[in-house]
Structure 1
Amino acid sequence: MRPLPPDASALLTELAAPPRLVAHLTAVHDVAVSLVDWLALAYPGLVVDREAVLFGAATHDIGKTIHVEELSGPGTRHEPAGHRLLLERGVEPRRARFAGTHGSWTADGVELEDLLVSLADKVWKAKREESLETLVVERLAAFSGREPWEVFLGLDDQLTMLADGADERLAFQNSRPVTGSW
């Protein structure tokens, strides 16, 4: 898997992030790299803040350094906590927002970059979310002028290919302990 961006890696080290969280963020980041690379090829001219998406994928669950119980159980308290944590550490709002938006892709003001982080956070484990994918398709169809069904076919192929590596990514994550520091 590709290494995390240096600034994200430094934050995780500073916060003594648990190894399982770092493994999860690494897996989601790796999928996000593949997604933005595919978009650049499939939709030349589409402006995507690559740096923000990759940083967002690498830090979207950083609030789980505070709400550690959400590493092994359900919960959303890590989302606003992570957003605040990043802002308190001086991260620009355009890059910190993903900690708060990755679980709420239907909220007002969500941009394509937010959708991409959410999508990477689902497909890394081969989970498909129709409502999320529909929003991505709508944005790509509006940009390209292509029919939504045509956009969906291309996105579906890409997501299927990414989902094929889910077992390896899950094994990578699950081989790391929930406690301790990275």
Structure 2
Amino acid sequence: MTTAAHVLSIALDETSDPPLRPLPADVAGLLGDVGAPPRLVAHLRAVHDVAAVLVDWAGDRCPGLPLDREAVLFGAATHDVGKVVHPAELSGPGALHEPAGRELLLSRGVHPELARFAACHAAWAAGAAVEDLLVSLADKVWKNKRVPELEDLVVAELSRVSGRPAWEEFMALDEFLTEVGEGADRRLAWQAGHAVHG
């Protein structure tokens, strides 16, 4: 199987353990074109799946939340694409992939509003767009990593829009993220079953 065909298989084929949504076809094609390593594609698919669940939950919880669902899903599906340029960061720490990912996406004709997720998924601050917060949150909770500062920003946005007290939004988010975290071991095992390099 060619590298591109293998990437498409990881990105799009049905999975059962865990069941994961396929990546968008345009993202799968882009990952094949840039020679994304199998483990990176698996990671992006796992984060994309969690982002879809998270966006659906947020929309149901707070229908008035101004939220671009497709932007979140694209951001989750491409947030680490810069690791194609900096492959050492596939298995080790580093932030060089963040600006590199944004530049790679821009060079492929991706709109700057969507390419930004590659550069900003590891940093968040008060005032960040809710889409940025949700991509960052999905990138943490897929492996059951909890980041109180990030979750507090999401809670504040939910409370601001819903009018409910922050503690109530916190309790709801905490319960939801706990449920999502229960699938982390299966997602991690699935990702680990794919080679770090092509």
Give the TM interval when normalised to the shorter protein.
over 0.9
**Normalised by the size of structure 2, how large is the TM-score?**
0.89
Distance 1:58 1:34 in 2: 13
User: What is residue 179 of structure 1 aligned with on the other side?
Assistant: 197
User: What is residue 31 of structure 1 aligned with on the other side?
Assistant: 50
Indicate the SS of the match to 1:127. Answer: coil
* Overall identity of the aligned pairs, in %: 61
* TM-fit CA distance, 1:109: 5.5
Out of 64, 67, 70, which is 1:51 matched to? 70
Out of 172, 176, 186, which is 1:154 matched to? 172
Match for 1:163: what amino acid? G
* TM-fit CA distance, 1:35: 0.3
Structure 1 portions without partners, runs of 5+: none
Indicate the SS of the match to 1:97. Answer: helix
Out of 150, 175, 183, which is 1:165 matched to? 183
Structure 2 portions without partners, runs of 5+: 1-19
Give a deviation string over 1:45-86, Cα, whole Å, max 9, x none.
Answer: 222100000000000000000000000000000000001111
Whether the 8 Å contact between 1:52 and 1:95 is mirrored in structure 2 is yes
The 5 A counterparts of 1:42-121 are 42-106=61-125, 110-121=128-139
Distance 2:59 2:129 in 1: 17
* TM-fit CA distance, 1:110: 2.2
The 5 A counterparts of 1:124-163 are 124-163=142-181
**Normalised by the size of structure 1, how large is the TM-score?**
0.96
User: What is residue 32 of structure 2 aligned with on the other side?
Assistant: 13
Q: Which runs of 4+ in 1 moved over 2 A?
A: none
Across the aligned residues of Structure 1 and Structure 2, the Cα RMSD in angstroms comes to 0.9
Whether the 8 Å contact between 1:55 and 1:95 is mirrored in structure 2 is yes
Distance 2:29 2:182 in 1: 30
Distance 2:40 2:92 in 1: 13
Distance 2:54 2:34 in 1: 28
Distance 1:173 1:57 in 2: 15
Whether the 8 Å contact between 1:101 and 1:110 is mirrored in structure 2 is no
Match for 1:175: what amino acid? G
Match for 2:84: what amino acid? T
Distance 2:130 2:99 in 1: 20
- CA spacing shift, 1:109–1:96, aligned 2, 3 Å: farther
Match for 2:181: what amino acid? A
Which structure carries more relative contact order (alpha carbon 8 Å, separation 6+)?
1
Match for 2:64: what amino acid? G
Distance 2:180 2:116 in 1: 25
